[in-house]
A and B are shown apart, each in its own frame.
Chain A
Amino acid sequence: MEAQSIKSESLTGPDARGRFGEFGGRFAPETLMAPIEELEAAYCNARKDPAFQSELARLLKDFAGRPTPLFPAERLTARLGGARIYLKREDLLHTGAHKINNCLGQGLLAKRMGKTRLVAETGAGQHGVATATVAALLGLKCVVYMGEEDMARQAPNVFRMRLLGTQVVSVSSGTRTLKDAINEGMRDWVTNVHNTHYLMGSVLGPHPYPLMVREFHRVIGQEARRQILESTGKLPDLLCACVGGGSNAIGLFYDFIPDAGVKMLGVEAGGRGPKLGDHAARFSGGRPGVLHGSYTYVLQTDDGLISNTHSVSAGLDYPAVGPEHAELHRRGRVEYTHVSDLEALEAARLLARVEGIIPALESAHALAEVLKRAPGMSREKIIVVNLSGRGDKDLGIFQSAGIL
Chain B
Amino acid sequence: MPPTIITRIETRFRELDEKRQKGLVVYLTAGDPNLDATEGLLQALDRAGADVIELGVPFSDPLADGPVIQRASERALRSGTTLRKILERFPAWRKTLHAPIILFSYFNPVLQLGLERFAADAAQVGIDGALVVDLTPEEAEDYVRTMRAHHLETVFLASPTSTDARLKRAAQLSSGFLYLISRTGVTGERSEMAAGIRPLVERARRLTSLPLAVGFGISTPEQVREVQAHADAAVVGSAVVHAIEEHYSTGGPAAIEQFVRGLKAAAEGKSV
Contact = CB atoms under 8 A, between A and B. Distances in A.
A183 B63 contact: yes
B82 A29 contact: no
A30 B170 contact: yes
B163 A303 contact: no
Given A26-B139, A290-B107, A291-B108, A34 B162 contact: yes
B139 A31 contact: no
Q: Which among A187, A190, A292, A306 has the highest number of chain B CB atoms within 10 Å? A: A187
A304 B83 contact: yes
Contacts of B12: none
Q: Which among A33, A34, A180 has the highest number of chain B CB atoms within 10 Å? A: A33
A30 B61 contact: no
Contact of B181 (A31, A183, A293, A306): A31
Contacts of A174: 60-61
Nearest to B138: A26
Contacts of A300: 108, 112
Given A305-B77, A305-B109, A28 B136 contact: yes
Given A30-B159, A173-B70, A292 B63 contact: yes
B112 A33 contact: no
B80 to A, nearest CB: 10
Nearest to B112: A304
Q: Which among A34, A180, A186, A290 has the highest number of chain B CB atoms within 10 Å? A: A290
Q: Which among B63, B84, B138 has the highest number of chain A CB atoms within 10 Å? A: B63
B137 to A, nearest CB: 9
A26 B108 CA distance: 13
A26 B136 contact: yes
Interface string A9-46: 00000000100000001111111111101000000000
Interface in B27-76: 59-64, 66, 70, 74
A34 B159 CA distance: 9
B133 interface: yes
B161 A298 contact: no
Contact of A27 (B59, B82, B136, B158): B136
A44 B31 CA distance: 45
Given A30-B162, A30-B166, A303 B184 contact: no
A377 interface: no
A304 B159 contact: no
Contacts of A190: 64, 184-186
Nearest to B133: A29
B158 A30 contact: yes
A329 B157 CA distance: 34
Interface string A264-306: 0000000000000000000000000111110000101011111
Contacts of B113: 303-304
A243 B112 CA distance: 24
B120 interface: no
B110 interface: yes
Contacts of B184: 31, 190-194
B61 A291 contact: yes
B222 interface: no
Contacts of A37: 163
Interface string B191-220: 000000000000000000000000000000
Contact of A33 (B70, B107, B136): B136
Contact of B159 (A25, A31, A173, A192): A31
A194 B139 CA distance: 24
Interface of B: 59-64, 66, 70, 74, 77, 82-84, 107-113, 133-136, 138-139, 156-163, 166, 170, 181, 184-186
17 contacts: A27-B136, A29-B63, A30-B156, A30-B157, A30-B162, A31-B185, A33-B159, A174-B61, A179-B61, A183-B61, A187-B66, A191-B184, A291-B108, A298-B108, A303-B113, A304-B110, A306-B61
Given A30-B157, A305-B108, 12 more contacts: A28-B134, A29-B133, A30-B162, A30-B181, A31-B184, A34-B159, A174-B60, A179-B61, A193-B161, A298-B108, A303-B82, A304-B110
Interface of A: 17, 25-35, 37, 173-174, 179-180, 182-183, 186-187, 190-194, 289-293, 298, 300, 302-306
